[in-house]
Amino acid sequence: MPSRRWRGVRVERSLQRKVCVDGSLMKEFVLSGPLTPDLADYLGNFGEVEILTLHGKQFLSFEKPHFISVKGVLGEDTVEVRYASGVHDLISDLFHLFLYHYSNGKETGKMREILATLEGKIRPPTGC
């Protein structure tokens, strides 16, 4: 059932959640609508987007290093979201915020402010 307060794509429910071997948190979500090229373009404002075609399907891969990655098939409503190790509590709502600002006019300014604030709080891991 569509929300009156939140137009557009949103998370309908979570299918699974697990902590991976590398410490990242993986969540699989069902969205209220399919992944679209337009949403992929919007995500490209905040990180690296790659669209791969295999057997007639287009696969979306979005990554904001040290924060989040999103993977899914364009035209389908299920996505896998991984939150970087050690920062789950700070960025647990980041994917929801991307969808909210996308669905409400593809607003990028506020999302850039949110990401800048998070970047100030998160230090990327350093190599040995």
Spell out the per-residue pLDDT of the chain, length 128, in tens: 444 555 678 899 999 999 888 888 999 999 999 999 999 999 999 999 999 999 999 999 999 988 999 999 999 999 999 998 888 778 888 898 899 888 877 878 889 999 999 888 887 666 55
Query: Which pLDDT score, from 0 to 100, does residue 126 have?
Result: 62
The two tokens of residue 78 are: 């299920």
Phi first, then psi: what are they for 36, rounded to 5°?
A: -125, 160
Alpha helices in 5-71 (DSSP H): 37-43
**3-state DSSP assignment of residue 14:** strand
- Tokens of residue 121, six digits: 């709080």
* Domain chopping of the chain, boundaries: 11-121
Q: Supply the pLDDT for residue 90.
A: 80
pLDDT at residue 125, as a whole number: 63
Give pLDDT, residue 121.
Answer: 83
Q: What secondary structure letter does DSSP report for 105? A: T
DSSP conformational letter for 84 = P
Burial of 2 from C-beta contacts in 10 A (0-12 / 13-18 / 19+) = exposed
Per-residue pLDDT, 91:
83
Distance CA 82, CA 25 (A): 5
Alpha-carbon Rg for the chain, nearest whole angstrom, is 15
How confident is the model at residue 57, as a pLDDT?
A: 94
CATH number listed for the domain at residues 11-121: 3.30.160
Structure token pair of residue 68:
């989040």
Cβ within 8 Å of residue 52, ≥6 positions away: 58, 59, 61
